[in-house]
Amino acid sequence: MSATTSSSERSLGSLFRSQGAQKLLAFAGLLVLLVGFSVASPNFMQTANMITILQAASINGVLAVSATLIIITGGIDLSVGTGMTFCAVIAGVVLTYLGMPMPVGIVAAIAAGTLSGFLSGVFVAKLKVPPFIATLGMMLILKGLSLVISGTRPIYFNDTPGFTQIATGSIVGTFFPIFPIPNGVVILFLVAGIASFILGRTVLGRYAFALGSNEEALRLSGVNADRWKIAVYSLGGAIMGVAGILIASRLNSAQPALGLGYELDAIAAVVIGGTSLRGGQGTILGTIIGALIMAVLLNGLRILSVAQEWQTVVTGSIIILAVYADMLRRQRAAAAT
């Protein structure tokens, strides 16, 4: 977007302007939904229901943060759904089958995610397999491995006291009993904050955007682009590991057959949040708002007793509408520069 601007100062300015506008647009959509549902049903705007929505958004939100990083580099990660399950199963094996203490299980799950992200990154960057294919392969590999490792049975965490507290307990609630935000939601915001910091303030973030907008230029300027790309995929994998712990904790079990299709919900949250699938731009804040929009929408439609088949139609329409609105904004922004 900044390729045609004359001075770097102007390009920086337009970057902020367009990102600000996108946040506003998605945020306005979220507000409209919240107000609309509140008017439509007295049961919607209740503390317990707001917590329900946040909790429903937390796992998809973490997956979407992972997906945002990869999509910014111009890639795609189809393996986040089954990869999350794989990490949950690893936690289950370490904690329940091997009886290790809880922190070991958490580290193992995140390590498993990092490793799978690293492998995807190697396939994409070194072997030059297109990201869609490489991560499609990883999606199936991880789905299969989850079933193999778990023996196709759910692994329960009954022997690990406190494990369910990771996602469902509420540290916030002990200080503010009026609004007991579950830890899973706090973890989502922590992950989002860290990812946002990495994207905005570190070399890794700068190169992630550069990989997406002009990989060739990055290479020509002497940067080892492959290595940075692998680093981004690994980071995405680590975040996927966090999602694995969250879902395992929320269900108090690692469900090995779960996960297929979750990658599409994550990608939907990313695009609703205004990140372009072409790469080179996007924000974590937008993605979080995208995940919240999806959760609010589904919850609100359910509270209004809308038939399930229509819930799906409405969700699909909102995705197209959001991306279309964003495209209009981009065209306008491009015409203005």
Partner 1 sequence: MFNRRTLLATASAVVMLGFAPMASAQDDTLDIALISKGFQHQFWQAVNMGAQQAAEELGVNVTFEGPDNESQVDRQIDMLAAALARQPDAIGFAALDSQAATPLLQQAQAAGIPVIAFDSGVDSDIPLGTAATNNLAAAALAADKMAELIGGEGKVALVVHDQTSRTGIERRDGFVNQIEAEYPDIEIVSIQYGGGDHLQSTEITKSILLANPDLKGIFGANEGSAIGVVNGVTELGRDDVVVIGYDSGAAQLDAIRSGTMAGAITQNPVGIGYETVAAAVAAINGEEVPAEIDTGFYYYDASNMDDPEIAAVLYE
Site residues (vs partner 1, CB under 8 A) = 21, 24-25, 28-29, 32-33, 36-37, 39-41, 43-44, 46, 48-49, 52, 55-56, 59, 152-154, 156, 168, 247, 250-253, 255-261, 298-299, 301-308, 314, 317-318, 321-322, 325, 328-329, 332
Under 8 Å CB-to-CB from 164, ≥6 apart: which residues? 157, 249, 250, 252
> What minimum distance in Å lies between the beta carbon of 213 and partner 1?
23
Burial 318-329 (b: 16+ CB within 10 A, else e): bbeebbebbeeb
Four-residue CA torsion sign, 134, 140, 143, 147? negative
Nearer to partner 1, 11 or 168 (CB): 168
Q: Nearer to partner 1 by C-beta: 107 or 303?
A: 303
29/75 with CB nearer partner 1: 29
Among residues 141 and 306, whose Cβ is nearest to partner 1?
Answer: 306
CB of 270 to partner 1, least distance (A): 18
Nearer CB in complex with partner 1: 95/322: 322
Residue 300, φ and ψ in degrees, nearest 5: -60, -45
Residue 280 φ/ψ region, left for φ over 0, alpha for ψ in the -120 to 50 degree band, beta for the rest: left
Q: Closest separation between CB of residue 149 and partner 1, Å? A: 14
Q: Which two tokens stand for residue 8?
A: 């770097």
Cβ at position 79, least distance to partner 1 in Å: 17
The CB-based long-range contact list for 43-52 (8 Å cut-off, 24+ gap) reads 43/303, 44/299, 44/300, 44/303, 47/178, 47/179, 49/299, 49/303, 51/179, 51/180, 51/181, 51/182, 51/185, 52/299
**Least distance to partner 1, CB of residue 109, Å:** 16
Nearer to partner 1, 251 or 277 (CB): 251
Rounded to the nearest 10 degrees, how much is the dihedral formed by the CA atoms of 211, 292, 138, 129?
A: -20
Q: How far is the CB of 48 from partner 1 (least distance, A)?
A: 6
Neighbours of 216 (CB within 10 A): 8
